[in-house]
A and B are shown apart, each in its own frame.
Chain A
Amino acid sequence: MNDHATNRGESPGGVMAILRSHGSDLTLAALTVAVFVTMSLLNPGKFLTTANFESMAFQFPELALLSLAMLLAMLSGGIDLSVVAVANLCGILAAMILTGELSGGEPLGGTASSLVLAVVVAVGCGACCGSLNGLLISRLEVSPILATLGTMQIFTGAGLVLTSGRAVHGFPESFLVLGNGSPWGVPIPFVFFAAAAALVWLLSSRTSLGIHMRLLGTNPTAALFSGIRVNRVLFRTYLITGILAAVTGLLMIARTNSAKADYGSSYLLQAILVAVLGGVNPAGGFGHVRGVCVAVLALQFLSSGFAMLHLSTFARGFIWGVFLLLFMVMNQISNRRLNQ
């Protein structure tokens, strides 16, 4: 099952090597441009507008952060199905602090201390959720699928219990800036995205933790016997995905001015789709931040384009499913050809 991943080592020189390392990047870039052009043609006068680009720049960072989390989990050979649930739970906690529901009714208003408290609690909650996943997967050796499937239910359920299923809304202006402000013309969510992408890139390509994740994802047994502290690497991986999800949660509630336990349920499929489209191998060990960044743009173009075409959520669900299968098959075929 893993033979494709292991054969894809960096072999020296030649056109094939360039194709091998950049072939999928070129395909992806071409695809993104194609999507862009198609959507511009299908939505004349609507897609190619500043307003649309502005709204896309505020929207895509949420999906991008979730996809970066998925990238890290997949690099280590696992998957994190709980990201959206963690984002919602952290968002709800922050929301309840901001509206004063946790502190017994008195709205804290827009004081700096309440903002800081909300952010700290949200990120702390993300770290706790991530740690729970990490402990289950590393110490208890529960498979990532089952562990995160279970915690996904628990976190969503906890959010539902906290809010009794309704939406928490009405946050102070000073917090909403986080999701809607754009000082000097740069949307704040975009800044978060850029920072997260840079950090995840540094982490995954320039630190020993990142290298260990890749090795672990490529061949867990070999990683263990080469002295990598597997438990520690796994724990940290899921800790980081939890924190990324928490930041996503903050961005989501700041942009929409409301927090709900079952918000953004289609984000999970989309985050996996972005990762797969971006060339991440779901079996582990292979994937790049640049691929994910381009893929998330392609998906945002599609998403905004579909919304303009008034496609129903059902039709979009159908299309996401088709694309996910299609891209996985395409990746697999091109990998096989290159490996021969």
Chain B
Amino acid sequence: MKQMRKLVQTHEFVLFILVVLLCVAMGMKNPLFWSLGNVFDLLKSSVTLGLLALGVLVILISGDIDISFPAIAAFSMYVTCLIAQATGLGDHIAILFGMAAATGGLLGVFNAVFIHFFRLPALIVTLGTASLIRGGLLAFVGTRIITDLPESMVTFSRAQLFRQQLPGGETIGLAGSIFILVGVALLVQFLLKHTLLGRGIYALGGAPEAARRAGFNIRRIRFFIFALVGCLAGVVGIIHASNMRNANPFDLSGLELTVIAAVVVGGADITGGKGTVIGTLLGTLLLVIIGNSLILMGLPSQWHKVAVGAIIIVSAGMVAWRRRLGRNSGSGK
């Protein structure tokens, strides 16, 4: 009973109810919402957003922020595709993922150098690197859209589960990339809850000085988390290009706000030390559903920006309010 009550009070539970209510409401308004095709589409769109959100979750838990990951994703995607095109490497999708993740990871390390060694605020550093990476990509690497992607990427994007033929002749299926999201989510969950490094990330976010004195290697933690976000951004870049069937260096911009909204809705606090994988996944789902509903309801796309902004503010306000309640009620919870 007590456990039951505890569960009901969690942020994740409230969020879960919200997602369910939204789904029911949308389903009543537009029966198309519950069609298998739309559900598969929703899950497919959740993959890229969810992967980035998991990376940002780790960053927010450690008390920092990163807004350069869309630029990193675009850079890794484009450079990997260029290399694959030039060398013919990439007959296997894993090689492409590896290259993109490595590129992204290196760029993440670049962020970490400024943030850790020069003790500069992460927001401004990543604002700078985002401009540098995107500008560098477009000015010096190229602006041409690559359309002849390696065969392996096309095959990858066609991989589907539960494939079935609709009466109309259209085939639908669940995108295979969902496995990547599930796998990464499990890994991040394991990392955060069951490894020393994960406990260090929470400790760093809760109280950096205390974490240092407790013997955590702050440098290693910081470099790890920024490299992790970079790697995930690289992977997202390849998934994105596969889905689009082309590599467009202008793509993936402005994504940072949606991702941060998803993580903050999920209950993570930018002051650090708080946030869960399950909350982040639910937050991602909520944002994807809201984006989808706006389209199904026929609202112009301009409203999407307003919705994302409002979600960030309302959920950040709620998280801050909980924080204050926790503080006022003393050392209790």
Contacts and interface: CB of A to CB of B under 8 A. Distances in A.
Interface of A: 1, 4, 79, 136, 140-143, 145-147, 149-158, 160-161, 164-165, 269, 272, 276, 282-283, 312, 314-322, 324-325, 328-329, 332-333
A144 to B, nearest CB: 10
A136 B128 CA distance: 26
Given A318-B135, A321-B129, A142 B316 contact: yes
A23 to B, nearest CB: 19
B124 A146 contact: no
Nearest to B129: A321
Interface majority SS on B: helix, strand, loop or mixed?
helix
B323 A141 contact: yes
24 contacts: A136-B313, A140-B317, A140-B321, A141-B320, A141-B324, A142-B313, A143-B316, A146-B313, A149-B257, A150-B311, A151-B309, A153-B312, A157-B304, A283-B121, A312-B139, A315-B135, A317-B134, A317-B138, A319-B135, A320-B135, A321-B128, A321-B129, A324-B131, A332-B118
Contacts of B291: none
A328 B260 contact: no
Contact of B316 (A150, A153, A325): A150
Most buried by B among A149, A152, A160, A272: A149
B123 interface: yes
Given A150-B310, A154-B309, A283-B121, A142 B317 contact: yes
B243 to A, nearest CB: 25
A317 B121 CA distance: 20
Contacts of B59: none
Contact of B264 (A146, A155, A157): A146
Given A141-B324, A158-B306, A328-B125, 7 more contacts: A140-B317, A147-B313, A150-B310, A156-B305, A315-B140, A317-B134, A317-B139
A316 B132 CA distance: 9
Nearest to B60: A146
A101 B193 CA distance: 56
Nearest to B313: A150
Interface majority SS on A: helix, strand, loop or mixed?
helix
Interface of B: 65, 114, 118-121, 123-125, 127-140, 143, 208, 257, 260-261, 264, 270-271, 300, 302-313, 316-317, 320-321, 323-324
B312 A314 contact: no
A317 B118 contact: no
Contact of B302 (A136, A157, A318, A322): A157
A283 B123 CA distance: 11
Contacts of A160: 302, 305
Given A140-B321, A320-B131, A325-B132, A149 B312 contact: yes
Contacts of B128: 269, 320-322, 324-325, 328
A154 B119 contact: no
Contact of A157 (B303, B313, B316): B303
A272 B134 CA distance: 18
A312 B142 CA distance: 12
Contacts of B264: 146
